[in-house]
Amino acid sequence: MFGSKMFTLALFALLGPGPTQSRETHSLHYIYTALSKPVGLPGIHEFTAMGLLDGRMIDYFDSEHQTKVPKQEWMRERLPADYWDKGTQSRKSKQQWFKVNIGILMERMRQNESTTPHVLQWMHGCEGEKQPDGTLKFVRGMDMYNYDGDDFLSFDDRNGVWVAPTPQALPTKRKWDAVQVLKEYTKGYLENECIDWLSKFVNYGKEKLKSVPEVYMFTKTSRADTNVVLTCLATGFYPAELTVTIRRNGRVLTADDGLTSSGLLPNHDETFQRRDNVEVLKSDVSVFSCEVRHEATDVHAVKDWDKRLLPDCEGSSVHILVAAVAVPFVLVGVAAVLLFLYKKTTTNG
């Protein structure tokens, strides 16, 4: 249940900044979500914890199953059984910590008699930039707490202090600021231990962290009998950074030419897709081409429109297929559902 700033950061962590020609970055984040009471909804647990590498879920724990499990096959293959055993014990300890502290916050905010479920969330992790020698250099860290959809407390890594954006967080800030070893540990974890784990995970999963885009160019009928909708589809790529260009006789088409884009959409397998469309005359004899660049996999693909028009049924099948794989990610979806639940409950009194 992220507040506005925290939710933006969570989405950033999910999608990742994506590498560019001059800068390749990777991120490792952990998100913990605890409720004060069960909500009786399938898939929504009193406590959940998940690890995200470059926005992909790599491990998961919830209060129902009580076991930390890998969500990527390479995690299962590369990490020994005691890693998961220790991780399970760590998650169980954090589950208890959250249960105690959400009770403290409810008492502090005089919510003891509340029938509304309250939510405490913690997100922490780091981002590293790949150096010429292949190592990762610390870029930034993140350690922040959120309560009932609002930012509650965060760690200022540069200055080594806790930041309280709300008066209710001041007692915790003063208490934690007074514990020097806690501040040193938090800073050391973000800048060193987190980066060490990030480097290991990137190395373990390096062959799985990139996916080459498939590129298609096709048309379907338009509402105007004289026109067709020309579509350039790139799908199955990861990471998310990608450029798509449609050209007419070599000239790049823009919104002024009626160009529209679906934007970045998630596929069911944690890859992405994007569709760019433009409506053109059936009689247009110009050369139309679709150009896709995916720097992470060094792909530069160009497809030309062969002037064939898909039959209505075939065009519809393509459209449905594309839509079917565009299912939402669940990584921060739980947080969004909880936020909706909380806002709806409070709105209804």
User: DSSP alpha helices (H): ranges in 79-178?
Assistant: 81-108, 170-177
Do residues 202 and 194 make contact, with C-beta atoms less than 8 angstroms apart?
Answer: no
Tens of pLDDT along 125-144?
Answer: 999 998 988 899 999 999 99
Spell out the domain ranges in the chain. 4-208+330-347, 214-310
The architecture that CATH gives domain 4-208+330-347 is 2-Layer Sandwich (3.30)
Classify 6 as helix, strand or coil. helix
Over the chain, what is the mean pLDDT?
82
| Residue 171, amino acid | P
Residue 297 has φ and ψ, to the nearest 5°, of -110, 10
Of residues 25 and 323, more confidence is placed in: 25
Tell me whether the CATH fold assigned to 4-208+330-347 matches the one assigned to 214-310: no
CATH of domain 214-310: 2.60.40.10
Q: Is the pTM of this model over 0.85?
A: no
Per-residue pLDDT tens for 17-47?
433 334 678 899 999 999 988 877 877 899 9
Contact 169, 152 (CB under 8 A): yes
* Between residues 324 and 273, the one the model is more confident about: 273
Distance between CA atoms of residues 192 and 43, nearest Å: 34
The distance between the two most distant Cα atoms of the chain, rounded to a whole number of Å, is: 75
pLDDT of residue 222: 85
Res. 311 pLDDT band, cuts 50 70 90: low
What does the pLDDT read at residue 310? 55
Nearest to 13 by CA among 4, 32, 26, 24: 26
